[in-house]
Structures are given as structure tokens and as C-alpha cells.
Amino acid sequence: MKKLALSDEILLKIDKPARYIGNEVNSIVKDPKEAAIRFAMCFPDVYEIGMSHLGIQILYDMFNKREDVYCERVYSPWPDLHQIMKEQQIPLFALESQDAVKDFDFLGITIQYEMCYTNILQVIDLSQIPMFAADRTKDDPFVIGGGPCAYNPEPLADFFDLFYIGEGEISYDALFDCYKEWKASGEDRIGFLRKAAKIPGIYVPQLYEVTYKEDGTIEAFTPKEEGIPEKVEKQLVMNMSESVYPQKPLVPFIKATQDRVVLEIQRGCIRGCRFCQAGMIYRPTREKDVDVLKQYAYHMLKNTGHEEISLSSLSSSDYSSLKELVTFLIEEFKGNGVNISLPSLRIDAFSLDVMSKVQDIRKSSLTFAPEAGSQRLRDVINKGLTEEVILQGAGEAFEGGWQKVKLYFMLGLPTENVEDQRAIAELANKIAVRYYEIPKDRRNGKCQITISTSFFVPKPFTPFQWAKMYPKEHYLACAHTVNDAVKEQLNKKSIKYNWHEADVTVLEGVLARGDRKLGKAILRAYEKGCIFDAWSDMFDNEQWMDSFKETGIDPDFYTLRERPLDEIFPWDFIDAGVTKDFLKREYANALAEKVTKNCRMQCNGCGVGKYKGGVCVEDKN
Amino acid sequence: MKIRIKFGKYGVMKFIGHLDIMRYFQKCMRRADIDIAYSEGFSPHQIMSFAAPLGVGITSDGEYVDIEVHSTKSSKESIDALNAVMVEGVEITSYRKLGDNDKKAMSLVAAADYELYIKDNYEVPDVDFEAALQEFFYKPSEILITKQTKKSEKVMDLKQLVYDFKIYRKEDRPVFYLKVSTGSTDNLKPELVLASFYEYLGLGFDPLSIQIHRIDVYGRIDEKLVSLGQMGEIIE
């Protein structure tokens, strides 16, 4: 029988023991002794969140296809178990073999959002691996990071031996082969890191030196040694249809956030919204062949037993074969007790038709993400959605029987003024007016319009990477402006407004565009007990602010400055495909309120044409 | 057509709670291509009901789930198909067809029997359990205990609700065998019986020191307890 790392006494005392026992359907069981490389793949958040992440499922499947690799999973222990593991000195373990992570060859950590940084330190700490990469010895695993936040890895540079920049499907084989050679050679730790740094997409922070100007900005960022590349190029899959994709995804026992088959239909987005990091770093847009996706749907439903299937992409409405795929899914599976969960589609006749087939209209709601209230500000952020389109879509939906609408906006966008904020409430009101234009006998009581706002955080590799943020008070004032404006609307009783606290926005802003100097503050925050910062009930802003103070960090330096165009950014050593010139151009267009057309309408020369694939070569064969 | 499936739950699966086991079985039915029937409506669900929920931490040889199917293969083929999609720690041991008018397992449950072990990492108290059992259980005409529920206290007579209580030895460690009343009325947890036995012996009772294993679940037919697995017939 399988042996567990935790005793019955512990497992029966803590919340949801199923998080820590492994044994899930489709988990991979191998003899650890047979594997030359043991890889612990970690999502640094609670199991239910981590298990829902598609990227890990892809890499888990791909790594385990190699006979010489045994890839297992690790998630952040919940605070109840965290405390027990600290008290009893129990080392963090991987779910499959229940063996201690510290005995593995690699600890891979996906870095999906800034607010998980203290959880990363928790994982390293509980694993009983030295916190600083520089202190690790030959017996310690190599800690490697990847995911979107690896596009600015600098705040975490002290804690990682390596970062992988880009999509994981490409360079891991080379990295594993390199590791095996190194292991056989008996060389010291840095020997492997030197070789790895030459593999495309691999960044080894220890091999680079950063010098700063007196004002705290970067003076130079250079390799310490000859032969280490100055630029690290992002890796990306150029043939999506033939790329690996897990046909037997893991099925957790406890309900994960994503408790369904997820079909990735494309990567990238043609839209070019100027606030969106994903829309820039995943360029160019690459579609998967619709026939391949149909096959996947069959196999994945069969192999998991899931009762729901959904599509994953940044903008599903732009997938060229969407109609064919959705029609197929409904016709093929709907009768078999499978729910089709549609992602947020652009509201038009087609999407309303399919939505009416797969959802209960009365219960479901329409989602629009105008992101900004006024047309002026939507032009600044290059969000193509117009008021006319929204009102028309909502009108058609109301005629069709819907009565719930969700609207998503951002506050604190560059150039935003009070009129833009008030326009949010006015737009909601116009939608309500459209609803009440329907004769009473043809509508079903009141409509419900829910406005949600989040605060904008500028991210690296976007046209807004130079933009300044605001103090916390300003964000809350923006939210109050919207709230007051909602109350002034004629249809205020049909409109509900939700907004968030602003503390976390400021911190996210510091970390997103931070540099190496932040490492000590993150460590201090962890030492003060900060973990699960992404969970609002656990987030403790005061501890963070104290940590900055005690480590001599001024958060305002990272958030309140509008950065000059010639500033060297901590992430400038990464070649993300889009050029800095393009981003500058787009920043200028934003300030001039000039819209840039999407990739299918016109090439804007962003730089990713060099990969010669995806949307850049569509219809050009 | 109604089907009753019997399964065992062992090893690490004892940490998976009842609701998650239900979700697990729904997905198993789909993976094994069981032609299960669905309810009507926008979000149809499988017609499936479990006999008696098993607490987290307890293992079992006798768990039951009733399902409704449109068509079925033979019992053996169905058992094989289901076991091919099970994880380690859940095993299907029986698949039988019920009569159309047979009651659901859930509403039949009247008793269950258990073995309770002292876990290997706990010391066995130096007590003559066997002799004490006579004094504690067999000689008195009533044994009143107070059961704490969320809302109130309830006085119960173990003599009425414990149908059998034996002690035997495995590798010289005692095993407590208990057959107790189970179901929506008069549900008695076996650890409650053992706890009052320990109390009678003047021993401290640590629930974590005991591994509970359910052997089987019974319904009452003509005043006799019949295993739920004995009902219905094997499909050839």
C-alpha cells in the first residue's frame, strides 16, 4: 500500500487531507529509482487552484513521456499544515511518491501572479532547501521558475537558480539532456548553470551583474562571464496543432476551481489591448486545427469522465473555426450529459444562439469587458469595443430573454479623468434603458447590471510599462466617483457596483515592475508570516509595508514614477518578441488616443514577425 | 433498470470524504462507459444514490451505490470495466441487478458491522479485554450512554442498538468486532461503543489510536438482517 508523508494524526486534523495524498485519476506512477531526473513541479498556491492550471498539466504530461524523467506535483500547504510542518520539521514532499522535494533534481515553480511570491519562499523553506540560490550545494535541487511573471524575474532573482522564459514545450528536453551530462561529469553546481545559460530561453540570474545609478534606476545589466548571452529569447511553440497536449489530464478528488476538460484552442491574441501583458508576450496568435481539437475533446472527456468541457484562449471569438467547433461540441456531447461551458464570447447573433442552447437564459448572464467607461479612454487602451456594439449586443440579448449583464472595467488607467470614471455608470444606465425599452409584457421584471472594477497595474512588455501608478487613496477615490455616479443614474436600482481594496494593487505594482533589490523585502515579508497574499482574508498590508521600511525599499519608486523612455528596465535583457520600439510607438499612440488595428486587419510591425508563424503568415502561404 | 454496486475503500482513499467519493463515482461511470441514466433539465445529473456515508478515516469492504441504467453488460464485464478505471484503494466487488420495485439501498440500511483495531504505532493497553467485555456488555440488561449531538443530548441503550460485540486477536493485538444499528433513525457510531467500553475499563480513549474498518452494511428483511450485497441477482 502507498505510504504517505504525513501521519494519520496530521491528516485527520487538517482541512481537506485529499490535498496531500496524491493518487488522483491519471496521476503518473513510476519507480523513482528508474528515473535519472526527478522533477517536482510546483504551483505555489493551494491545491484546488494549482490543479486547475493548464500549463502544469501540459508539462506534467510532456515530462513524464520521457522515460528518464519522473515529474511529480507540489502545491502550497495550507496554513494549518504549514504550521505543523514547521513545528515538526517535516520536509515538503511531492504528491506522487510522497518523497521529500529536497532529494529531487529540480524544483520547478510556475509563477502566475505577483501575489504568490511569498508562497514561493514558503515552498523553498518547507522543502528545507537553502533560500538563496547562491547558498545551495551539490545536494540541493535546482530551483527553476517559469510562467508569465518570469518575464520580469528580477524581484525573485536571489531565490532561483534558473528561469525559463516563454512556453515550456520547447527547451526542457535540451535542459534535461544537459543536466544528465553534467551529473555524469561530476562538475560543480555552477558548471551546470553555465551550460544551461546557453540553452535558448534559460536565464541564470547568478551569471548576470546589475549596477545602479544614484537615483536607483539601472545603469547596466550585463553577463558576468564571456559566453553567457546578453539577451534571453522567449521560447514559443510554432506548430500548435502538433504540439504536445495531455489527453489524460489529472482528475482531482476534491473539487478544483477548474473541474472540467479544458481545450486550448489558440495561444495569443490579435487585439493588442495596451494594458494586457498576455496579449503581448504570447504573440503571435497561433491557432490549433479544429479537427485536432475535436479529437482531443473525445479523448479527454473519455479519459477523465468530466461532465463539462470548456474552451481556453485569450479571445475565443477570434478563433477562426469557433462556429464549427462549438456546433460540434453541442451536437456531439450535449445529449450525453456533458455541459458545454462557453468562455466570454463577443455578444452577437451567433454567440446568443449557442448560449441559449447550453445555458438557462434566466440564470445566466452576459459579460462585457469594455475595461474603460468612455470611448476616449477605450481608444487610449486600444480596446476596440464601442458603446454602439455593447448596446446592440445587450439589446439582442434582452430581446432573447436575458436580463443579467456583467460589466468589467479598470480604474487608474493612464490619462483617466473623472469624466471617464463617471462614464462607467452612464454606460451601465444606457444598457438598463435599452432593457426597459422592451414592452412590459415581453420582459421579465427588472434587469440586473453588475459593474465590477479592478485597479490597473502596469506590466512589463506592454505599452504601459512606462506609466505611473497612483497612491492607494487615489484608487479608492476613483471607486467612490463611480459609486456616486451610479447613485445618480435613473436606473440605479438595476445597477450594482463592486470594487476591491487598493492595498494589494499597490503591492502588485511594486512587484510587477520591480528589480533585484526587492528580494530582501519579499524575504522579510515571508519571515513576518506573509503567505497566501492572493487571498484577501490572509493578505496583511502592514507587514509588507514594514518589510519595505526595514529593508530600505521605497515602494513609491516602483509605482509613482512615470519612467523615462530611455530607462533601462530590469526585464530589458529578455527578448519577448515585441520590440521596445513598438511598445514606445504604442505608448505614444495611447497618449494621442489613437487606435491601432488588430493583427488580422493590419500588421503593425510589433517584431514577432521574425518567428514566421501564426497570424503573421495567415493567408500568405 | 436498477443496479447495485458494491465496493471497498482502502489505503489512502480513506481520506476522501463522502461527497468527493460521489463525484469520483460519477466520473468513473463515464470513463467505464456505463450506460447510466440522467435526470431531465438544463444540468442533468446521474441517477445514483449511496447507501450509508462513510466517515473520513474509515476503510471499508462493504460500500454500496445504486444506479439507474438504460442497458447493461454482464456483472462480470461491468465489474471489470469499472475496476479498469478505478484508482488504487477503490475496488468494485459486486454489480447486481435489482427488481424494479426494490427499495434504494439508502432507505434499507438498518445495520453495519465493523472491525476496530488499535493502530500499529499505538501501544495495546494491558487489560484483559475479553473478560471485561462480559461484565461490560453481556451481563447488564441495559447500558445507557449519552450521545452528544449538535443540538441536544440523547440517551441511548447500547443493549438495544449493538447487535454483536466480540473481541478476537490478530497477531496478538485485539480486534473489536461490532455490529451496530445504522441508518437515519438510531444511528450508532462504533467508536462511541468502544469509547464507553474504554471508559468502563478506566482507560483514556484516543480516537486517533483506532482504525475503523467497515465490513458490510445490512438491510432488514422479515426481521432478519440481510447484506445489501445479497439482494438482487447477478447478470450473466
Min Cα separation B102/chain A (Å):
26
Instruction: Identify the pLDDT of residue A442.
Output: 87
Chain B interface includes A592 (CB < 8 A) = no
Chain B interface includes A299 (CB < 8 A) = no
Query: A360-500: same fold as A260-344+577-621?
Result: yes
E strand map for A423-577? 448-455, 495-498, 574-575
- Fill in the amino acid letter for B151: K
Q: Which residues of A touch B46 (CB under 8 A)?
A: 337
Mean pLDDT per segment of 10 residues, for chain A of length 621 residues?
A: 90 97 97 96 98 96 98 98 98 98 98 98 98 96 98 98 97 97 95 97 98 97 96 96 96 94 96 97 97 97 96 93 94 88 82 84 85 97 92 92 94 98 98 94 91 98 98 96 97 95 95 98 98 96 98 98 97 98 98 96 96 88 47
The pLDDT tens digits of the residues spanning B140-161 come to 999 998 877 777 888 889 999 9
Residues B9 and B62: their CA atoms lie apart, in Å, by 8
Q: Which fold has domain A360-500?
A: Transcription Regulator spoIIAA (3.30.750)
* Residue B127 · residue B167 · CB < 8 Å: no
Running DSSP on this structure, what letter comes out for residue A235? B
Closest to B27 (Cβ–Cβ): which among A251, A254, A360?
A251
> Helix A472-488 vs helix A418-436: angle between axes, to the nearest 10 degrees?
30
Tell me whether residues A18 and B87 touch, CB distance under 8 A. Answer: no
Chain B interface includes A340 (CB < 8 A) = no
Instruction: Identify the pLDDT of residue A1.
Output: 60
Interface probe, candidates A6, A23, A81, A259, chain B, greatest B C-beta count within 10 A: A23
Q: Which fold has domain B108-224?
A: Alpha-Beta Plaits (3.30.70)
Closest to B87 (Cβ–Cβ): which among A25, A254, A303?
A25
Closest to A304 (Cβ–Cβ): which among B10, B11, B27?
B27
Instruction: Identify the pLDDT of residue B175.
Output: 97
CA dihedral A129, A133, A136, A137 (to 10 degrees): 140
A362 contacts: CB under 8 Å, gap ≥ 6? A401, A403, A444
Instruction: Identify the pLDDT of residue B110.
Output: 96
Residues A32 and A11: their CA atoms lie apart, in Å, by 24
Instruction: Identify the pLDDT of residue A621.
Output: 47
Closest to A339 (Cβ–Cβ): which among B26, B30, B43?
B43
Q: Using CB atoms and an 8 Å cut-off, which of residues 137-166 of chain A contact chain B? A: none
* Residue B25 · residue B19 · CB < 8 Å: no
Instruction: Identify the pLDDT of residue A620.
Output: 59
Q: Comparing C-alpha atoms, which of A69, A79, A6 is closest to residue A36? A: A69
The pLDDT tens digits of the residues spanning B200-213 come to 999 999 999 999 99
Instruction: Identify the pLDDT of residue B149.
Output: 75
Q: Comparing C-alpha atoms, which of A561, A528, A557 is closest to residue A544? A: A528
Q: State in words which class domain A260-344+577-621 has.
A: alpha beta
Query: B108-224: same fold as B2-106?
Result: yes
* Residue A494 · residue A446 · CB < 8 Å: yes
Domain ranges of chain B: 2-106, 108-224
Instruction: Identify the pLDDT of residue B151.
Output: 78
Instruction: Identify the pLDDT of residue A585.
Output: 98
Q: Comparing C-alpha atoms, which of A193, A191, A228, A234 is closest to residue A209? A: A228
Q: Which residues of B touch A303 (CB under 8 A)?
A: 31
Q: Comparing C-alpha atoms, which of B106, B102, B121 is closest to residue B209? A: B121
Instruction: Identify the pLDDT of residue B203.
Output: 94
Q: Which residues of A touch B85 (CB under 8 A)?
A: 25, 305
Running DSSP on this structure, what letter comes out for residue A591? H
E strand map for A363-432? 366-371, 404-411
Running DSSP on this structure, what letter comes out for residue B116? E
- Fill in the amino acid letter for B90: V
Q: State in words which class domain B2-106 has.
A: alpha beta
* Residue A562 · residue A458 · CB < 8 Å: no
Peptide bond preceding A284 in cis form (omega within 30 of 0): yes
Residue B79 scores a pLDDT above 70: yes
CA dihedral B79, B85, B90, B95 (to 10 degrees): -20
The pLDDT tens digits of the residues spanning B93-136 come to 999 999 999 999 999 999 999 999 999 999 999 999 999 999 99
Record the cell numbers describing residue B60, joined without a space. 471499508
* Residue A569 · residue A577 · CB < 8 Å: no
Residues B17 and B54: their CA atoms lie apart, in Å, by 8
Classify A99 as helix, strand or coil: coil
- Find, in chain B, the residue whose alpha carbon is nearest to that of A252: B24
Instruction: Identify the pLDDT of residue A136.
Output: 98
Min Cα separation A338/chain B (Å):
9
- Find, in chain A, the residue whose alpha carbon is nearest to that of B55: A12
Per the document, the length of chain B is 236
Q: Comparing C-alpha atoms, which of A212, A346, A252 is closest to residue A23? A: A252
Complex-level ipTM: 0.95
A195 to A158, A176, A177, A228: CA distances (angstroms): 19, 12, 11, 9
Domain ranges of chain A: 8-233, 260-344+577-621, 360-500
Record the cell numbers describing residue B13, joined without a space. 482513499
Min Cα separation B208/chain A (Å):
6
Q: Comparing C-alpha atoms, which of B141, B142, B124 is closest to residue B201? A: B124
* Residue A580 · residue A573 · CB < 8 Å: no
Tell me whether residues B31 and A337 touch, CB distance under 8 A. Answer: no
